[in-house]
Amino acid sequence: MPFDRMVRAVDDWAAQRGRDDVLAQIGDTDYRPQHIQWRQFIEPDHFEQFFDRADAIVAHAGTGSIITAMQFGKPILVMPRRAELMETRNNHQVATADRFKEQFSIAVAYDETEMPQRLDELHSLGRVSGFRAAASDQLINCLREFFEHE
């Protein structure tokens, strides 16, 4: 489902900060970014290459995105999709964001108004403190099993 709200928020942030190093996979959105590099879809083998080279990850609050960031040891900022905005069928991503924020200290922007500040913090976190969210294979497998049965 489209997530124009997040794509637009990241695009606006990049314009305001003069950033030209942002690459986004935007999926099926109507909004076309003006200030960031983008691809509608990235093939899986290229996706891992981009992910590996990234300083930080910004994504919807899907467990796959969060776990992949943990596997790569990348700081991640998530913004949950919302059912009332027709971005998903229910608000499970809000619950996912809450749980991972509490358990693993991931960064969360609950809406587009929080995005600029959280992006600034994420950039500093990755560059300054060397944030390490790398998780063991055992933890990742445990998380996968938990969310598959939830």
pLDDT tens digits for range 75-132: 899 999 988 887 888 888 999 999 888 877 789 999 999 999 999 988 665 543 333 4
pLDDT tier, 146 (very low <50, low <70, confident <90, very high otherwise): low
d(CA 70, CA 56): 11
Question: Residue 70: its pLDDT value, please?
Answer: 83
Q: What pLDDT is stored for residue 132 in this prediction?
A: 43
Q: How many domains does the chain have?
A: 1
Cα separation, 52 vs 46, whole angstroms = 10
Rounded to two decimals, the pTM is 0.82
Q: Are 39 and 29 in contact (CB under 8 A)?
A: no
Which residue segment(s) compose the domain that 91 sits in?
Answer: 4-149
Q: Which of 117, 135, 25 is nearest to 74 (CA)?
A: 135
Phi, psi dihedral angles at 109 (to 5 degrees): -110, 110
pLDDT for the residue numbered 4: 93
Position with higher pLDDT, 14 vs 133: 14
Summarised one tens digit per residue, pLDDT across range 14-41 is 999 999 999 999 998 889 999 999 999 9
Tell me the CATH number at 63: 3.40.50.2000
